[in-house]
A and B are shown apart, each in its own frame.
Chain A
Amino acid sequence: MLQQSKIAIRMLLLFTLVCGVAYPSVVTGLAQGLFPRQAGGSLVRRHGHLVGSTLIGQRFRGPNWFHGRPSAVGYDAAASGPSNYGPTSPALRKELAANLAKVLRENPGVRPAQVPVDLVTSSGSGLDPDLSPGAALLQVPRVARANHLSAAAVRGLVLRQVRGRWLGIFGEPHVNVLRLNLALDGLRGR
C-alpha cells in the first residue's frame, strides 16, 4: 500500500512535468516557429490595427455590412456558446420568428422561402465566422444599395469569397463574413 502510494506520487509528479510543462512548451515553441500566423490566432490587421481574427465571427450592424448569423452570446469571443434551446422550446420559436422578422425587415423584397436557415438560427459556438453562400447573396441588394455599389460587383465579391466543401465532400460551402466585409471595404475604398 505504502510502496504503491509512493510510486503513485512520484509518477504523478514526473508525468505532470512531462505532460504539463514539457509537452506544451515544446508544442508551442514548434508551432510558433512553424506556423506563426495560425499559432497566433489568425489575427487580421487593417491599416496596422487589429480588427479581429478570420476564424472568429464578429457582429456587423447597419445596412452597409454583410451580417453574420445570430449569436447566442452576442459574438463575445471570451465566452462562446450556443443558445441550447430544445427543438420544441417556445423560446426557440420566439427567437426564430424574431430573427426571421429582422432579416425580412432589413432586406426588403426578400420572401421567407429565400431565407437560408443559417440566417435565423444561432450557431454552436456563437462565433460562427461563416454564412452559407445563399445567406450572403441574399444580402447583396441591401449592401450594394447602402454602399452605392453595383449589385453585380457586390455579387461577384461574394462569389469570389465562397469556399467549397473540403475535397468536394466534407462540410458545407461557406463564405467568411469578415473576409467578405474586408473585401467589401476594399471595394468601397477604391
Chain B
Amino acid sequence: MTVPGVLTILLFFAVILLITKPFGGYLYRVYTGAPTFLDRLVRPAEAAVYRLTGVDPEQEMSWSTFLLALLVFNLAGLLLLYAVLRLQGFLPLNPRHYPGLSPDLAWNTAVSFATNTNWQAYSGEASLSYLSQLALVVQQFLSPLSGIAMLLAFLRGLTRRNASTLGNFWVDITRTLLWVALPIAGVAALVLVALGSPENFLPYVHVTTLAGSHQTIAQGPVAAMTSIMQLGDNGGGFFNANAAHPYAAPNAASLLFQLVLGFSVPAALTYTFGKWVGDTRQGWAVFAAMAILFLAGTFAAYHFELAGTPALHQLGINDQLGNLEGKEVRFGPALSTLFDTSTTAVSWGSTAAANDSFTPLGSLVLLFNLLTGEVIFGSWGVGLLGMLMYAILAVFIAGLMVGRTPEYLGKKIGAYEVKMAVLTIVVPTFVILGLTALALSTRAGLAGLGNPGAHGLSEALYAYASGVGNNGSAFGGLNAATPFYTWTVGLAMLIGRYPMYIPALAMAASLARKQAVPASAGTFPTHGWLFVVLLLGMVVVVSALDVFPVLSLGPLAEQFARTAGGAP
C-alpha cells in the first residue's frame, strides 16, 4: 500500500465520520418535526403535497396499512416506469430515436429502479432516450424513500410502548423527499457540473478528432442523474461505464464528492437511530461495526488490487499501479478500489472500475460485502434495518449467555422476533444460492457467462447477490440482457426487497405492542465495544458460513488455482 493510497481511504472516512453527527441530527429533526433551517421554504410545500394528494398527516397507520401503502406506491411507480420504457419510441426527448425496450428488458429495468437496485441490463447512452433517463431519475428519487419509511416504522416499533401503529408512510416519504432528497440532490448536481459533468439535453455531439477520425460523444442531463443516483444509493448511472465514465466522474474530486454523497444518508441514519432510541451511543455502536467491516474490506481489497495479478506479473512490465485492467488512470488503484468496495457496502451499485476484472481476492471482498445482505451502511434505511436484524440475533444469543430473556433497547426479543429476523436472513440466502445454482446448471444461464471457470461462477453469484441485495453493480462480463438473466435477476431484486419488508414490519408491529423493560446492570449493554464485537461476529459468521462453500469454488479457487499453477 502507498501512503497517498492509505491516506485516501482514511481521510475519506474521516469526512464521513465528521458529517454523520450533524447530518444525522438534521434527519432526526426532520422526522420528529423539529424546526430546521429549510422550514420556511419547505413547510408550505409539504402542506401543499398533503392537500393535493388527500393525505391526512395526523393519521397513524397499522403495520398492514403501512405495508399496503408502500407496496401500492412502489407498484404504481414500477408500472409507470415500465410504460415509459416500452413506449419511449413514441415519446419526446429522444434525439437518437431509440425504440422502446423489449418486454423482458423493460420489466427488468422497471423492477430494478423501483427496488432501488439500479441493475442495468441495458446500456444507458446506447438505448435510452432522455425522457426514459428522466423516468429513471424519478424512481431514483422515489425508491430510496420507501427504505427510509421502513426504517422509521421499525424505529417507532422499537421505541413505542403498547402501541398499534407505526406512523404514516406518506408523511415519511414526503418529508424525506422535501427536506433531504430534493434540496441535497439539487445542490449536489450543481457541484458535479462545476467539477466537470455535463448537464444538457443536447443531441449527441459528432466530432472529427484531432487524429482525423470521427467520434460521437453522448450527452445528456448527466449531473442531475449522477447526483440523485449517488445520494439515493441507487447506482444506475447515465452511462454504461457508470462512474468510470469521464463525464460521470471527471476527476478524483468529483468521485470523492460522489462517495460522500453515497455515504451521507446511510451513515447519518446510524446517528438518527441513536437519537431516536434516546441514546446516541447505540447509534455509534452500530456505526462502529459498519465502519470496521467497511475499512477492513477496503484495505484488504486495496492491498490485493495494488498487488496486481500473475497475468500482469508475467509480462514483466512496470505494474506499480497494480491491477489497472478496468480502472481509470485519474483514479488509480486506491480511489477505484475505495469506490467499488463502497458501492458494494453502501449498496449504491455504480462502479468506478470494472468489478469483473478485480483480482480474485479483491472481488472476494466485493462479494462478501454484498453477501452480508448489504448491511455495511447499506442503502437508505434498509441497510441499517438489516444490521438491526443482525443486532437482534446477536442480542438474542448474548441475552441467553447473560441469563436473561434477550432484550434490545428495552424490548424483549421473543420467538416471533427471532422468527422474523431469521426469515430476513434465510430468504436471501435461498434466493442467491438457488438462482446461482440454477444459472450454472442450465444452458441459458451458462450461455450468459462472460468468463470461464471459477470466475464465471463468481459472475453468476455476483449477479444474484447484487440483485437480492438491491445493489445493482455487476461483474459486467455477464450478459445480463438475455431473457434468462433479465427474468431471474428481476425475480431476485423483487424478492430481495418486498418480501423482506414483511417480516421487518411485522416485527416492528410486534415490538411496538410490547412494554419496554428498563435497563439494569443485568441488561446486556448494546452500546459498548463488546456489543460491537458481537455484532461483527454475528455478521461475519452468519454470512461467511452461508457462502464459504460457494466462495471456495469462486474467488478462492481462482486465487489458489492460479497460485498452484506456478505463477509467481
Contacts and interface: CB of A to CB of B under 8 A. Distances in A.
Interface of A: 1, 4-12, 14-16, 18-21, 23-24, 26-28, 30-32, 34-35, 38-43, 46, 49-53, 55-62, 65, 69, 75-90, 92-93, 96-97, 100, 112-118, 120-132, 134, 165-166, 168-172, 174, 178, 181-182, 185
A169 B219 CA distance: 30
A18 B177 CA distance: 10
B215 A82 contact: no
A129 to B, nearest CB: 6
B136 to A, nearest CB: 9
Contact of B327 (A40, A93, A123): A123
Contacts of A185: 210
A171 B335 contact: yes
A65 to B, nearest CB: 6
A138 to B, nearest CB: 9
B538 interface: no
Given A24-B221, A81-B123, A89 B455 contact: yes
B53 A10 contact: yes
A53 B174 CA distance: 40
B19 interface: no
Nearest to B178: A18
Contacts of B245: 80, 125, 127
28 contacts: A7-B170, A12-B76, A14-B52, A23-B141, A23-B182, A28-B201, A52-B215, A60-B210, A79-B126, A82-B244, A82-B476, A85-B356, A89-B452, A92-B325, A113-B317, A115-B317, A115-B318, A117-B324, A121-B324, A123-B244, A124-B241, A124-B327, A124-B353, A125-B244, A166-B253, A169-B8, A170-B8, A170-B335
Q: 7 closest pairs, A vs B, by CB?
A: A171-B252, A172-B332, A124-B244, A86-B455, A84-B477, A82-B354, A80-B241
A172 B453 CA distance: 33
A187 B219 CA distance: 31
Contact of B218 (A28, A78, A121, A122): A78
A80 B134 CA distance: 20
Interface stretch (B34-42, B307-315, B341-349, B484-492): B307-315
Given A12-B142, A171-B251, 20 more contacts: A12-B76, A18-B182, A23-B185, A28-B224, A30-B190, A31-B200, A34-B193, A38-B196, A39-B193, A53-B205, A80-B125, A80-B240, A84-B450, A85-B477, A87-B359, A88-B562, A96-B312, A124-B244, A124-B353, A166-B253
Nearest to B52: A14
Nearest to A90: B452
A184 B358 CA distance: 35
B498 interface: no
Given A84-B477, A87-B311, A78 B134 contact: no
A10 B52 CA distance: 8
Nearest to B478: A84
B193 A5 contact: no
Nearest to B476: A84
A12 B325 contact: no
Interface of A is mostly: mixed
A99 to B, nearest CB: 9
B204 interface: yes
B415 interface: no
Contact of A117 (B208, B322, B331): B322
Interface in B32-89: 49, 52-55, 65, 68-69, 72-73, 75-77, 80
Given A78-B218, A112-B316, A172 B477 contact: no
B278 interface: no
B198 interface: yes
Contacts of A75: 215
Contacts of B72: 4-5, 8
Contact of A39 (B137, B141, B198, B308): B198
Interface residues of B, number: 129
Contact of B246 (A1, A55, A85, A131): A55
Contacts of A4: 65, 68-69, 72
B197 to A, nearest CB: 7
Considering residues B201, B315, B455, which has the most beta carbons from chain A within 10 angstroms of its beta carbon? B315
B260 interface: no
Interface in B206-226: 206-211, 213, 215-219, 221, 223-224
A31 B215 contact: no
Contacts of A46: 210
B194 interface: yes
B138 interface: yes
A15 B65 contact: no
B206 to A, nearest CB: 8
Given A60-B210, A89-B452, A40 B200 contact: yes
A12 B330 CA distance: 40
Contacts of B198: 38-42
Given A10-B54, A39-B199, A77-B217, A20 B4 contact: no
A61 B212 CA distance: 10
B451 A16 contact: no
B53 A112 contact: no
Given A7-B55, A96-B312, A166-B251, A26 B328 contact: no
Contact of B69 (A7, A65, A81, A165): A7
B320 A117 contact: yes
B223 A31 contact: yes
A96 B200 contact: no
A87 B455 contact: yes
Considering residues B142, B200, B211, which has the most beta carbons from chain A within 10 angstroms of its beta carbon? B211
A19 B137 contact: yes
B250 interface: yes
A83 B326 contact: yes
B250 to A, nearest CB: 5
B434 interface: no
A182 to B, nearest CB: 7
Interface string B470-510: 00000111000000000000000000000000000000000
Contacts of B320: 116-117
Nearest to B317: A115
B342 to A, nearest CB: 14
Interface string B350-361: 011110111110
A88 B311 contact: yes
B87 to A, nearest CB: 15
B221 A27 contact: yes
Interface string B1-13: 0001001100100
Considering residues A11, A77, A89, A178, which has the most beta carbons from chain B within 10 angstroms of its beta carbon? A11
Nearest to A172: B332
B210 A182 contact: yes
A8 B65 CA distance: 12
